[in-house]
Structure 1
């Protein structure tokens, strides 16, 4: 992922693609973690959401691989993620650069050791995505039904899998299909994007303890207050 590297021209566009990838990933993470009532008439979907909605705060490591077909490149990034129902999502990127991406109800904060930038979601092109983020954080079933089709879902005690396709024009412009797999938590998200691009994010070493944010995590979320 080229999200935080100094780029220009064609690679500036790749940088924006990286931002969208992170936002879409966040949306999907939040959707799975906060919408236990979605498609309640589907017992498989209900079981998946009920299992994932139990924990209000989850930490994990992530490994993202983004394939850009137009330049025949693969961009890798690794780090940690903190998901909090009450605060938002914190992506702590550690490779290939060190940076933090904080998403809350109203702001997107990108912080490096030397710089910090802020996006007001109500005044940016990311507004629609962020609005969707807020709806999913609230467990808004109507929002999920408006933007996604759940095309398949399988659940067992050992493994679950769910596949979605975009319904709204906004998300159709971004990706073709999203697949998530896991056990107790989300373990892998595969995003098939437009133009034959693909992003795979693997989550590992999940932990729901401690159940409160650390001082450093809270300080990063406070940047968006």
Structure 2
């Protein structure tokens, strides 16, 4: 049948220029970066490129001693790579769905494992959730991003954004929490009855409580973190 021909396959799946700027969703799970300068991306996320692009792993003192110490302490797995040059760079992360955000002076916290790429104009810092470290496998950390520029985050399947208001706090499973607005500071609560009800391991009794004014992004998937992740 002609609809299964090789030409038809190429036609249906070939790359297309959409003219959307620096970050462009080539597919819901693949990000095209129209590079003309520099970008930061999750190490190992590059799947293809064309043009003259140079890659460097994040230098040990690239972002200052403070962040180096925090990275060593968290044992986190989101090492960064710096891509410099001109061309098209394609990045993805285990087939996770990609969302593009254009920060315009705002700030957002992103689970460290869900940060895919961001512009150098974005200021960032690692925040370890100390109260939960040790309570979950490998602990949990996030990255605070702020400023003006593009960032790309990932989620398993479609993300859902829940609004937080002073009268309506939101509780989430840490393993299913992708991001939250910079105005919020989560606190960690344990619920023994909840743990007993669902009959799972001790980590399931830990919940994140968001109070105030803002939003929380969750995914329909519980991501497991490992302390030996590199």
Higher share of residues assigned helix: 1
TM-score class normalised by the smaller sequence: under 0.3
